[in-house]
């Protein structure tokens, strides 16, 4: 008897089902990578925005507290359509970069549809006037002084050596407190 030799082919191709499964798995992996990268980029943008807010807060806090430490007399506050405006005399002049007495005012104004927080200093006798744009897209601005029941905008008959600034920036409420050197 003769034996038949059978030859089994080892060169098999991929079936259509195997190709479809490979494509589906690849699509799932790519979707997961896209989702992960999108989350990383969103987190990065949110952290950058938060960092800008914190850096602006630190700069504004240093400036406002330096103005208050050298405040002369009592401040005047008045209500505006964008919150409260405060004015006081201070020897912290940015214009002359020295201890020069000036009238300092913090306020919010709208320019070209955007709300900005400003610091303005002036001195009439020497003709000094300097307006600095501190923050863009700022919300309501309020200045408060200590009272028995907490903080109030009413200055009459109250000690105004300590002042609190509250403002909205980047959708968050920020608070800065400072006062005179005694």
SS (HEC) of 12-40: CCCCHHHHHHHHHHHHHHHHHHHHHHHHH
pLDDT of residue 16: 87
Structure token pair of residue 103: 């009238």
> Mean per-residue pLDDT for 68-94?
90
Chain segment 3-14, per-residue pLDDT in tens: 665 555 566 777
Residue 157: pLDDT band (50, 70, 90) is low
Residue 45: pLDDT band (50, 70, 90) is confident
Residue 155: pLDDT band (50, 70, 90) is low
- Residue 6 DSSP symbol: P
> Mean per-residue pLDDT for 136-161?
83
Residue 52: pLDDT band (50, 70, 90) is confident
> Mean per-residue pLDDT for 128-156?
87
Is 107 in contact with 120 (CB distance < 8 Å)? yes
**Tokens 């105004």 label which residue?**
160
For residue 90, give the nearest of 75, 107, 103, 74 by alpha carbon: 103
pLDDT above 90 (res 117) = yes
pLDDT above 90 (res 109) = yes
> Mean per-residue pLDDT for 20-28?
93
Residue 1: pLDDT band (50, 70, 90) is low
**Distance in angstroms (rounded) separating the CA atoms of residues 166 and 175:** 5
CA 67 from chain centre, in angstroms, equals 21
């Amino acid at each position: 008897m003769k034996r038949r030799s059978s030859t089994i082919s080892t060169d098999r191709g991929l079936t259509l089902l195997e190709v479809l499964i490979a494509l589906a798995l690849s699509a799932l992996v790519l979707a997961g990578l896209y989702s992960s990268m999108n989350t990383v980029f969103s987190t990065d943008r949110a952290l950058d925005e938060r960092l800008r807010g914190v850096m602006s807060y630190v700069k504004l806090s240093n400036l406002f507290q330096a103005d208050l430490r050298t405040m002369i007399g009592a401040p005047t506050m008045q209500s505006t359509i964008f919150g409260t405006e405060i004015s006081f005399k201070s020897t912290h002049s940015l214009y002359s970069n020295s201890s020069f007495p000036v009238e300092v005012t913090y306020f919010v104004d709208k320019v070209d549809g955007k709300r900005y927080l400003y610091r303005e200093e002036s001195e009439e006798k020497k003709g000094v006037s300097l307006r600095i744009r501190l923050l863009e897209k700022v919300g309501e601005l309020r200045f408060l002084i200590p009272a028995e029941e907490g903080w109030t905008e009413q200055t009459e008959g109250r000690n105004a050596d300590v002042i609190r600034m509250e403002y909205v920036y980047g959708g968050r409420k920020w608070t800065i407190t400072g006062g005179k050197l005694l």
